[in-house]
Structure 1
Amino acid sequence: MNASVISTQFADPIHDAQQAFRGLLAATSRPGTIVTIPLPIASPAPLSPTLAAIGLTLLDDATPVWLDPILIQEPIRQYLLFNTGARVVTQPDSAAFAFFAKARNLPDFRVFPRGTPSYPDRSATLVVQVPLLAGGRPVSLRGPGIESVVSVEPAGLPDGFWDRWNENAANYPIGIDMILADACSIMSLPRTVKASF
Protein backbone atom coordinates (compact mmCIF):
# COMPACT_ATOMS: atom_id res chain seq x y z
CA MET A 1 0.00 0.00 0.00
CA ASN A 2 1.15 3.52 -0.81
CA ALA A 3 2.54 5.21 2.31
CA SER A 4 0.87 8.47 1.30
CA VAL A 5 -2.56 6.84 1.60
CA ILE A 6 -1.74 5.44 5.02
CA SER A 7 -0.86 8.91 6.26
CA THR A 8 -3.74 10.70 4.52
CA GLN A 9 -6.23 12.33 6.83
CA PHE A 10 -8.48 15.33 6.29
CA ALA A 11 -7.41 18.17 4.01
CA ASP A 12 -7.39 20.41 7.09
CA PRO A 13 -6.79 17.86 9.88
CA ILE A 14 -7.67 20.05 12.87
CA HIS A 15 -10.59 22.00 11.42
CA ASP A 16 -12.12 19.06 9.53
CA ALA A 17 -11.78 16.70 12.49
CA GLN A 18 -13.52 19.26 14.71
CA GLN A 19 -16.31 19.64 12.15
CA ALA A 20 -16.68 15.87 11.84
CA PHE A 21 -16.86 15.53 15.62
CA ARG A 22 -19.51 18.24 15.84
CA GLY A 23 -21.43 16.49 13.05
CA LEU A 24 -21.32 13.19 14.94
CA LEU A 25 -22.51 14.92 18.11
CA ALA A 26 -25.35 16.59 16.20
CA ALA A 27 -26.40 13.28 14.66
CA THR A 28 -26.33 11.54 18.05
CA SER A 29 -28.33 14.26 19.77
CA ARG A 30 -30.92 14.25 16.95
CA PRO A 31 -31.47 10.58 16.03
CA GLY A 32 -32.65 10.00 12.49
CA THR A 33 -31.26 13.31 11.22
CA ILE A 34 -28.98 13.10 8.18
CA VAL A 35 -25.76 15.05 8.80
CA THR A 36 -22.99 15.68 6.26
CA ILE A 37 -19.43 15.51 7.60
CA PRO A 38 -16.00 16.35 6.10
CA LEU A 39 -14.26 13.43 4.40
CA PRO A 40 -10.57 12.56 4.19
CA ILE A 41 -8.71 13.13 0.95
CA ALA A 42 -8.27 9.37 0.48
CA SER A 43 -8.87 6.10 2.28
CA PRO A 44 -7.76 2.53 1.55
CA ALA A 45 -10.42 0.63 -0.39
CA PRO A 46 -12.82 -0.84 0.48
CA LEU A 47 -12.94 1.47 3.54
CA SER A 48 -15.23 4.24 2.33
CA PRO A 49 -14.26 7.87 2.97
CA THR A 50 -17.27 8.25 5.28
CA LEU A 51 -16.29 5.25 7.40
CA ALA A 52 -12.71 6.53 7.39
CA ALA A 53 -13.89 9.97 8.58
CA ILE A 54 -15.79 8.37 11.46
CA GLY A 55 -12.75 6.29 12.36
CA LEU A 56 -10.40 9.29 12.24
CA THR A 57 -12.78 11.19 14.50
CA LEU A 58 -13.79 8.60 17.10
CA LEU A 59 -10.97 6.08 17.35
CA ASP A 60 -7.84 6.33 19.45
CA ASP A 61 -5.38 3.99 21.14
CA ALA A 62 -7.93 3.18 23.85
CA THR A 63 -10.71 2.09 21.47
CA PRO A 64 -10.38 -1.47 20.18
CA VAL A 65 -12.06 -1.82 16.78
CA TRP A 66 -13.47 -4.87 15.00
CA LEU A 67 -13.69 -4.98 11.19
CA ASP A 68 -16.13 -7.07 9.17
CA PRO A 69 -14.82 -9.70 6.72
CA ILE A 70 -14.72 -7.19 3.85
CA LEU A 71 -12.70 -4.62 5.79
CA ILE A 72 -10.32 -6.89 7.69
CA GLN A 73 -7.41 -6.16 5.37
CA GLU A 74 -3.86 -5.20 6.24
CA PRO A 75 -3.90 -1.79 4.46
CA ILE A 76 -7.01 -0.78 6.44
CA ARG A 77 -5.55 -2.04 9.70
CA GLN A 78 -2.37 -0.04 9.00
CA TYR A 79 -4.37 3.06 8.07
CA LEU A 80 -6.35 3.01 11.32
CA LEU A 81 -3.31 2.19 13.44
CA PHE A 82 -1.16 4.91 11.87
CA ASN A 83 -3.80 7.64 11.99
CA THR A 84 -5.63 6.83 15.22
CA GLY A 85 -3.57 4.36 17.24
CA ALA A 86 -6.59 2.03 17.41
CA ARG A 87 -5.84 -1.68 17.50
CA VAL A 88 -7.94 -4.12 15.50
CA VAL A 89 -9.34 -7.00 17.54
CA THR A 90 -10.44 -10.35 16.18
CA GLN A 91 -13.27 -11.03 18.62
CA PRO A 92 -16.41 -8.87 18.40
CA ASP A 93 -16.99 -9.11 22.16
CA SER A 94 -13.75 -7.14 22.68
CA ALA A 95 -14.71 -4.20 20.46
CA ALA A 96 -15.62 -0.65 21.42
CA PHE A 97 -16.39 0.03 17.75
CA ALA A 98 -17.24 -2.30 14.86
CA PHE A 99 -17.12 -1.25 11.20
CA PHE A 100 -19.17 -2.82 8.42
CA ALA A 101 -18.71 -2.24 4.69
CA LYS A 102 -22.17 -3.66 4.01
CA ALA A 103 -25.23 -3.68 6.24
CA ARG A 104 -26.12 -7.19 5.10
CA ASN A 105 -23.08 -8.45 7.06
CA LEU A 106 -24.56 -7.40 10.40
CA PRO A 107 -24.50 -10.36 12.81
CA ASP A 108 -26.59 -10.78 15.94
CA PHE A 109 -26.07 -7.55 17.90
CA ARG A 110 -25.54 -9.61 21.05
CA VAL A 111 -22.07 -10.74 19.90
CA PHE A 112 -20.87 -7.20 20.70
CA PRO A 113 -20.47 -5.68 24.16
CA ARG A 114 -23.82 -4.28 25.31
CA GLY A 115 -22.72 -2.90 28.65
CA THR A 116 -24.31 -3.76 31.96
CA PRO A 117 -27.01 -2.01 34.01
CA SER A 118 -24.24 -0.57 36.20
CA TYR A 119 -21.93 0.29 33.28
CA PRO A 120 -24.07 0.86 30.17
CA ASP A 121 -21.24 2.88 28.61
CA ARG A 122 -19.20 -0.31 28.20
CA SER A 123 -21.00 -1.14 24.98
CA ALA A 124 -20.07 -1.14 21.31
CA THR A 125 -20.98 1.31 18.59
CA LEU A 126 -21.56 -0.26 15.18
CA VAL A 127 -20.61 1.89 12.17
CA VAL A 128 -22.43 0.59 9.11
CA GLN A 129 -22.13 1.58 5.45
CA VAL A 130 -25.42 1.68 3.51
CA PRO A 131 -25.97 2.61 -0.15
CA LEU A 132 -28.11 5.64 0.71
CA LEU A 133 -29.64 7.17 3.83
CA ALA A 134 -32.83 7.77 1.83
CA GLY A 135 -34.96 5.76 -0.56
CA GLY A 136 -35.44 2.64 1.55
CA ARG A 137 -38.47 1.44 3.47
CA PRO A 138 -39.89 4.36 5.52
CA VAL A 139 -39.75 3.86 9.29
CA SER A 140 -40.86 6.14 12.11
CA LEU A 141 -38.47 6.71 15.01
CA ARG A 142 -39.42 7.84 18.51
CA GLY A 143 -37.34 8.46 21.58
CA PRO A 144 -35.09 10.97 23.33
CA GLY A 145 -33.81 13.68 21.01
CA ILE A 146 -36.87 13.40 18.76
CA GLU A 147 -39.60 15.96 19.39
CA SER A 148 -42.44 13.61 18.46
CA VAL A 149 -41.59 11.35 15.55
CA VAL A 150 -39.11 11.40 12.67
CA SER A 151 -39.42 9.41 9.44
CA VAL A 152 -36.27 7.76 8.09
CA GLU A 153 -35.67 5.52 5.09
CA PRO A 154 -32.10 4.19 4.96
CA ALA A 155 -31.61 1.83 2.04
CA GLY A 156 -29.77 -1.48 2.04
CA LEU A 157 -30.64 -2.73 5.52
CA PRO A 158 -31.14 -6.49 5.84
CA ASP A 159 -34.58 -8.04 6.25
CA GLY A 160 -35.74 -7.94 9.84
CA PHE A 161 -33.32 -5.17 10.78
CA TRP A 162 -35.88 -2.97 12.50
CA ASP A 163 -37.30 -5.86 14.51
CA ARG A 164 -33.79 -6.62 15.70
CA TRP A 165 -33.28 -2.96 16.45
CA ASN A 166 -36.39 -2.79 18.62
CA GLU A 167 -35.22 -5.85 20.54
CA ASN A 168 -31.97 -3.98 21.17
CA ALA A 169 -33.84 -0.84 22.29
CA ALA A 170 -36.11 -2.86 24.59
CA ASN A 171 -33.07 -3.84 26.67
CA TYR A 172 -32.15 -0.23 27.49
CA PRO A 173 -29.95 0.83 29.29
CA ILE A 174 -27.83 -1.97 27.86
CA GLY A 175 -27.49 -2.41 24.12
CA ILE A 176 -25.46 -1.31 21.14
CA ASP A 177 -25.59 2.06 19.40
CA MET A 178 -25.27 2.48 15.64
CA ILE A 179 -24.10 5.00 13.08
CA LEU A 180 -25.34 4.52 9.51
CA ALA A 181 -23.24 6.08 6.75
CA ASP A 182 -23.64 6.59 3.02
CA ALA A 183 -21.18 8.24 0.61
CA CYS A 184 -21.03 11.57 2.44
CA SER A 185 -23.49 11.64 5.35
CA ILE A 186 -24.32 9.91 8.60
CA MET A 187 -27.36 9.07 10.73
CA SER A 188 -27.23 8.03 14.36
CA LEU A 189 -29.36 5.33 15.97
CA PRO A 190 -28.82 5.36 19.73
CA ARG A 191 -30.21 2.44 21.71
CA THR A 192 -32.86 4.74 23.20
CA VAL A 193 -34.71 4.99 19.86
CA LYS A 194 -37.55 2.66 18.84
CA ALA A 195 -38.90 2.11 15.33
CA SER A 196 -42.44 1.59 14.03
CA PHE A 197 -43.83 0.99 10.55
Structure 2
Amino acid sequence: MSIDIISAPFENPIHDAQQTFRALLSATSRPGTVVQLPLPRATPSPFTSALCSIALTLFDDTTTVWLDDALATKDVLRYLRFHTGATIVAEQSDAAFGVMADTRDLSDFGAFSVGDATYPDRSATLIVQLPSLTGGAEVTLAGPGIEHTTTVSPTGLPEGFWHWWNRNASRYPCGIDMIFTDGTAVMGLPRTTKASF
Protein backbone atom coordinates (compact mmCIF):
# COMPACT_ATOMS: atom_id res chain seq x y z
CA MET A 1 0.00 0.00 0.00
CA SER A 2 1.23 3.47 -0.84
CA ILE A 3 2.12 5.68 2.11
CA ASP A 4 -0.07 8.30 0.38
CA ILE A 5 -3.14 6.14 0.99
CA ILE A 6 -2.30 5.61 4.65
CA SER A 7 -1.69 9.31 5.18
CA ALA A 8 -4.56 10.65 3.06
CA PRO A 9 -8.04 10.10 4.48
CA PHE A 10 -10.38 13.09 3.94
CA GLU A 11 -9.06 16.36 2.51
CA ASN A 12 -10.66 18.12 5.49
CA PRO A 13 -11.17 15.36 8.08
CA ILE A 14 -13.53 17.10 10.51
CA HIS A 15 -15.68 18.85 7.90
CA ASP A 16 -15.85 15.87 5.53
CA ALA A 17 -16.69 13.40 8.31
CA GLN A 18 -19.49 15.71 9.45
CA GLN A 19 -20.79 16.00 5.89
CA THR A 20 -20.63 12.23 5.45
CA PHE A 21 -22.53 11.69 8.70
CA ARG A 22 -25.24 14.12 7.55
CA ALA A 23 -25.43 12.33 4.19
CA LEU A 24 -25.80 8.94 5.89
CA LEU A 25 -28.44 10.34 8.24
CA SER A 26 -30.33 11.75 5.25
CA ALA A 27 -30.11 8.44 3.38
CA THR A 28 -31.34 6.36 6.31
CA SER A 29 -34.10 8.79 7.31
CA ARG A 30 -35.38 8.88 3.71
CA PRO A 31 -35.12 5.25 2.58
CA GLY A 32 -34.54 4.74 -1.12
CA THR A 33 -33.05 8.21 -1.68
CA VAL A 34 -29.64 8.30 -3.34
CA VAL A 35 -27.29 10.69 -1.51
CA GLN A 36 -23.78 11.68 -2.64
CA LEU A 37 -20.87 11.46 -0.19
CA PRO A 38 -17.69 13.50 0.32
CA LEU A 39 -14.88 11.25 -0.86
CA PRO A 40 -11.31 10.77 0.39
CA ARG A 41 -8.31 11.50 -1.81
CA ALA A 42 -7.05 7.93 -2.03
CA THR A 43 -8.35 4.48 -1.15
CA PRO A 44 -6.89 0.99 -0.63
CA SER A 45 -8.02 -1.41 -3.36
CA PRO A 46 -10.61 -2.93 -3.47
CA PHE A 47 -12.28 -0.55 -0.99
CA THR A 48 -14.18 2.13 -2.89
CA SER A 49 -14.19 5.81 -2.03
CA ALA A 50 -17.67 5.55 -0.50
CA LEU A 51 -16.72 2.60 1.70
CA CYS A 52 -13.73 4.58 2.96
CA SER A 53 -15.92 7.63 3.65
CA ILE A 54 -18.36 5.51 5.65
CA ALA A 55 -15.59 3.77 7.56
CA LEU A 56 -13.81 7.04 8.39
CA THR A 57 -17.10 8.41 9.74
CA LEU A 58 -18.72 5.48 11.55
CA PHE A 59 -15.85 3.24 12.69
CA ASP A 60 -13.67 3.85 15.73
CA ASP A 61 -11.80 1.87 18.36
CA THR A 62 -15.07 0.74 19.96
CA THR A 63 -16.39 -0.68 16.68
CA THR A 64 -16.42 -4.33 15.59
CA VAL A 65 -16.32 -4.86 11.83
CA TRP A 66 -16.69 -7.96 9.66
CA LEU A 67 -15.37 -7.86 6.08
CA ASP A 68 -16.24 -10.35 3.37
CA ASP A 69 -13.41 -12.20 1.59
CA ALA A 70 -13.55 -9.81 -1.37
CA LEU A 71 -12.67 -6.85 0.87
CA ALA A 72 -10.48 -8.36 3.60
CA THR A 73 -7.17 -7.61 1.90
CA LYS A 74 -3.99 -6.64 3.74
CA ASP A 75 -4.21 -3.10 2.39
CA VAL A 76 -7.81 -2.64 3.54
CA LEU A 77 -7.10 -4.11 6.98
CA ARG A 78 -4.07 -1.87 7.42
CA TYR A 79 -6.06 1.19 6.31
CA LEU A 80 -8.94 0.51 8.70
CA ARG A 81 -6.69 -0.20 11.67
CA PHE A 82 -4.58 2.90 11.02
CA HIS A 83 -7.43 5.35 10.43
CA THR A 84 -10.23 3.97 12.62
CA GLY A 85 -8.78 1.58 15.20
CA ALA A 86 -11.77 -0.69 14.58
CA THR A 87 -11.59 -4.33 15.65
CA ILE A 88 -11.90 -6.70 12.68
CA VAL A 89 -13.85 -9.82 13.68
CA ALA A 90 -14.03 -13.23 12.03
CA GLU A 91 -17.63 -14.05 12.97
CA GLN A 92 -20.58 -12.16 11.49
CA SER A 93 -22.49 -12.49 14.76
CA ASP A 94 -19.79 -10.47 16.57
CA ALA A 95 -19.94 -7.50 14.20
CA ALA A 96 -21.61 -4.14 14.73
CA PHE A 97 -20.95 -3.48 11.03
CA GLY A 98 -20.66 -5.91 8.14
CA VAL A 99 -19.03 -4.67 4.94
CA MET A 100 -19.35 -6.68 1.75
CA ALA A 101 -18.82 -6.50 -1.99
CA ASP A 102 -19.74 -10.10 -2.79
CA THR A 103 -23.53 -9.99 -2.61
CA ARG A 104 -23.74 -13.78 -2.40
CA ASP A 105 -23.06 -13.23 1.31
CA LEU A 106 -26.43 -11.46 1.51
CA SER A 107 -28.16 -14.83 1.30
CA ASP A 108 -27.12 -15.32 4.91
CA PHE A 109 -27.50 -11.87 6.44
CA GLY A 110 -29.43 -13.55 9.23
CA ALA A 111 -26.02 -14.60 10.56
CA PHE A 112 -25.57 -11.03 11.82
CA SER A 113 -26.97 -9.86 15.13
CA VAL A 114 -30.57 -8.65 14.96
CA GLY A 115 -30.67 -7.43 18.56
CA ASP A 116 -33.34 -8.56 21.00
CA ALA A 117 -36.55 -7.22 22.51
CA THR A 118 -34.65 -5.53 25.35
CA TYR A 119 -31.79 -4.17 23.23
CA PRO A 120 -32.91 -3.93 19.57
CA ASP A 121 -30.15 -1.36 19.02
CA ARG A 122 -27.56 -4.12 19.44
CA SER A 123 -28.17 -5.21 15.87
CA ALA A 124 -25.76 -4.98 12.97
CA THR A 125 -25.66 -2.54 10.08
CA LEU A 126 -24.60 -4.00 6.74
CA ILE A 127 -22.78 -1.80 4.23
CA VAL A 128 -23.04 -3.34 0.77
CA GLN A 129 -21.09 -2.37 -2.34
CA LEU A 130 -23.27 -2.73 -5.47
CA PRO A 131 -22.50 -2.13 -9.15
CA SER A 132 -25.12 0.64 -9.29
CA LEU A 133 -27.93 2.10 -7.21
CA THR A 134 -30.09 2.42 -10.34
CA GLY A 135 -30.82 0.45 -13.50
CA GLY A 136 -32.02 -2.81 -11.96
CA ALA A 137 -35.48 -4.29 -11.49
CA GLU A 138 -37.85 -1.82 -9.85
CA VAL A 139 -38.97 -2.41 -6.28
CA THR A 140 -41.47 -0.30 -4.34
CA LEU A 141 -40.57 0.68 -0.79
CA ALA A 142 -42.88 1.87 1.98
CA GLY A 143 -42.44 2.73 5.63
CA PRO A 144 -41.31 5.54 7.94
CA GLY A 145 -39.49 8.33 6.11
CA ILE A 146 -41.39 7.62 2.87
CA GLU A 147 -44.46 9.79 2.35
CA HIS A 148 -46.42 7.19 0.38
CA THR A 149 -44.14 4.87 -1.57
CA THR A 150 -40.89 5.23 -3.50
CA THR A 151 -39.38 3.14 -6.27
CA VAL A 152 -35.77 1.94 -6.26
CA SER A 153 -33.78 -0.15 -8.75
CA PRO A 154 -30.36 -1.17 -7.38
CA THR A 155 -28.36 -3.69 -9.40
CA GLY A 156 -26.35 -6.66 -8.19
CA LEU A 157 -28.64 -7.99 -5.45
CA PRO A 158 -29.04 -11.77 -5.39
CA GLU A 159 -32.29 -13.44 -6.36
CA GLY A 160 -34.52 -13.69 -3.34
CA PHE A 161 -33.02 -10.68 -1.57
CA TRP A 162 -36.28 -8.75 -1.22
CA HIS A 163 -38.06 -11.78 0.26
CA TRP A 164 -35.27 -12.07 2.84
CA TRP A 165 -35.49 -8.34 3.45
CA ASN A 166 -39.22 -8.44 4.22
CA ARG A 167 -38.62 -11.25 6.71
CA ASN A 168 -36.03 -9.03 8.35
CA ALA A 169 -38.48 -6.09 8.44
CA SER A 170 -41.13 -8.31 10.04
CA ARG A 171 -38.84 -8.74 13.07
CA TYR A 172 -39.12 -5.05 14.00
CA PRO A 173 -38.03 -3.65 16.45
CA CYS A 174 -35.27 -6.22 15.94
CA GLY A 175 -33.54 -6.68 12.61
CA ILE A 176 -30.55 -5.40 10.71
CA ASP A 177 -30.24 -2.12 8.80
CA MET A 178 -28.52 -1.73 5.43
CA ILE A 179 -26.63 0.91 3.53
CA PHE A 180 -26.11 0.33 -0.19
CA THR A 181 -23.35 2.15 -2.07
CA ASP A 182 -22.21 2.30 -5.68
CA GLY A 183 -18.79 3.68 -4.76
CA THR A 184 -19.68 7.38 -4.60
CA ALA A 185 -23.23 7.58 -3.22
CA VAL A 186 -25.39 5.75 -0.68
CA MET A 187 -28.96 4.53 -0.25
CA GLY A 188 -30.37 3.65 3.17
CA LEU A 189 -32.57 0.66 3.89
CA PRO A 190 -33.59 0.66 7.58
CA ARG A 191 -35.37 -2.31 9.14
CA THR A 192 -38.63 -0.35 9.19
CA THR A 193 -38.83 -0.36 5.37
CA LYS A 194 -40.87 -2.99 3.52
CA ALA A 195 -40.62 -3.88 -0.15
CA SER A 196 -43.17 -4.94 -2.76
CA PHE A 197 -42.11 -6.37 -6.11
Q: Render the CA deviation track for 1:45-68: whole Å, top value 9, x for unaligned.
A: 011111111111111111100000
For residue 109 of structure 2, what is the aligned residue in structure 1? 109
2:132, 2:156 within 8 Å by CA — same for their partners in 1?
yes
* 1:99 shift after superposition: 0.4
For residue 23 of structure 2, what is the aligned residue in structure 1? 23
Map 1:169-184 onto structure 2 (within 5 A): 169-184=169-184
Identity %: 55
Q: Give the Cα separation in 2 of the matches to 1:98 and 1:90.
A: 11
What TM-score does the superposition give when structure 2 sets the normalisation length?
0.97
For residue 82 of structure 2, what is the aligned residue in structure 1? 82
* 1:24 shift after superposition: 0.3
For residue 146 of structure 2, what is the aligned residue in structure 1? 146
Q: Give the Cα separation in 2 of the matches to 1:148 and 1:63.
A: 35
SS in 2 for 1:188: strand
Map 1:1-80 onto structure 2 (within 5 A): 1-80=1-80
Tell me whether 1:192 sits opposite 2:192 in the alignment.
Answer: yes
- RMSD, aligned α-carbons: 0.9
In the alignment, structure 1 segments of 5+ residues that lack a partner are none
1:92, 1:111 within 8 Å by CA — same for their partners in 2?
yes
Paired residues in the alignment total 197
In the alignment, structure 2 segments of 5+ residues that lack a partner are none
What TM-score does the superposition give when structure 1 sets the normalisation length?
0.97
Q: Give the Cα separation in 2 of the matches to 1:179 and 1:194.
A: 15
Q: Give the Cα separation in 2 of the matches to 1:107 and 1:136.
A: 18
SS in 2 for 1:42: coil
1:114, 1:174 within 8 Å by CA — same for their partners in 2?
yes
Q: Give the Cα separation in 2 of the matches to 1:103 and 1:6.
A: 27
Structure 1 moving runs of 4+ over 6 Å: none
Deviates more, 1:107-116 or 1:152-161: 107-116
* 1:104 shift after superposition: 3.1
The amino acid that maps onto 1:184 is T
For residue 121 of structure 1, what is the aligned residue in structure 2? 121
For residue 167 of structure 2, what is the aligned residue in structure 1? 167
Q: Give the Cα separation in 1 of the matches to 2:38 and 2:104.
A: 26
